[in-house]
Chain A
Amino acid sequence: GENVEQHPSTLSVQEGDSAVIKCTYSDSASNYFPWYKQELGKRPQLIIDIRSNVGEKKDQRIAVTLNKTAKHFSLHITETQPEDSAVYFCAASIIQGAQKLVFGQGTRLTINP
């Protein structure tokens, strides 16, 4: 089955700097890659997603890139702000009859003022 590895497990950056979180997946058939953000004590919420027919997607300060050949995808956050502090999860899924999202281990991002 699918396996998703996420790095780093913790990341600390200065406010205003950029943050990058990377994930690799094992199943070349995976074609949907969402990112979820979980603030402390809260539920995970979708922040951005990308399909395998797209190489990059942006939404204001966040962007996701996908390299299908290397089977990895990354989350980029620019001009980080204190409210970006959270745990971020990547996930991979094969969209085909059923949705079995496999999540990465999570990255705890801390934005230092």
Chain B
Amino acid sequence: EAQVTQNPRYLITVTGKKLTVTCSQNMNHEYMSWYRQDPGLGLRQIYYSMNVEVTDKGDVPEGYKVSRKEKRNFPLILESPSPNQTSLYFCASSTFRGGYQNTGELFFGEGSRLTVL
């Protein structure tokens, strides 16, 4: 079954304790991205990756890191979480490869709800 898998789905942590949210897709997509969803703010892009070892900042990258060492995996790293990073996080992948002819539907994971105390 084609899917994007995120772990953990729920996490409560404390300020400053490093954590990683994993994301894996089995659709051989080149494009992957992380979003955070907050009430009244919609979905905001944190980082995205066009291919292995190619990553770039989205609209709200502060406080986050990513890596893309393998095509299928795109982990989100919070080196020193703070309460303002409490949010619902979505990983997504897409068939997008660049260029006007290929728009690329985003396939989202089930989301990871993070609470930072």
Contact = CB atoms under 8 A, between A and B. Distances in A.
Interface of A: 1, 4, 6, 9, 31-32, 34, 36, 42-46, 49, 51, 89, 91, 93, 95-106
Given A103-B44, A106-B42, A97 B98 contact: yes
Given A51-B103, A95-B99, 17 more contacts: A1-B59, A42-B110, A43-B111, A44-B108, A49-B103, A49-B105, A89-B43, A97-B98, A97-B99, A99-B104, A100-B45, A101-B106, A102-B45, A102-B59, A103-B35, A104-B42, A106-B43
Contact of B109 (A6, A43, A97, A103): A43
B56 interface: yes
Contacts of A9: 40
Given A32-B103, A95-B99, A95-B100, A101 B45 contact: yes
A30 to B, nearest CB: 12
7 contacts: A9-B40, A43-B111, A89-B43, A95-B100, A95-B103, A96-B100, A99-B103
A45 B108 CA distance: 7
B58 to A, nearest CB: 7
A46 B43 contact: no
A6 B94 CA distance: 24
A4 B48 CA distance: 19
A84 B43 CA distance: 20
A40 B109 CA distance: 14
A46 B43 CA distance: 14
Contacts of B40: 9, 105-106
A89 B42 contact: yes
Given A45-B108, A95-B100, A98-B56, A103 B48 contact: no
Contacts of B21: none
